[in-house]
Amino acid sequence: LYVLKALVDSLLGTLLTTDTAAWFGAFSSTPYSVIPYHIVVVVGTLLTLFLGARSIEKTNKVMMPVFFVIFLILAVRVALLPGAAEGYVFMFTPRWEALTNPMIWIWAMGQAFFSLSLGMGTLITYASYFSDKTSLPKTAITVASLDTFVAVLAGVIIFPAVFSFGISPSQGPELIFITLPNVFQQIPGAYIWSVLFFVLITVAALTSTISLCEVAIAFLHE
* Interior angle at CA 54, CA 145 and CA 124, nearest 5: 45
Q: What is the pLDDT of residue 106?
A: 92
CB 1 within 8 A of CB 34: yes
Dist CA 80 CA 85 (whole Å): 9
Q: What is the pLDDT of residue 88?
A: 92
**pTM score:** 0.75
Min mean pLDDT across 67-81, 101-115, 118-132, 137-151 is at: 118-132
The H or E element spanning position 41 is helix 35-51
User: Which of 49-63, 84-98, 168-182, 188-202 is predicted most confidently?
Assistant: 84-98
Whether 206 shows a pLDDT value over 70: the answer reads yes
* Average pLDDT across the chain, whole number: 83
Helix (H, G, I), strand (E, B) or coil at 93: coil
Whether 69 shows a pLDDT value over 80: the answer reads yes
Whether 212 shows a pLDDT value over 80: the answer reads no
CB 184 within 8 A of CB 104: no
Identify which of 40, 43, 1, 60 has the alpha carbon closest to the alpha carbon of residue 213: 43
pLDDT digits (tens, 9 = 90+) for 128-145: 778 888 888 888 888 888
Distances (CA, A) of 6 to 3, 65, 120, 131, 220: 5, 21, 27, 39, 35
| Average confidence (pLDDT) over 105-120 | 77
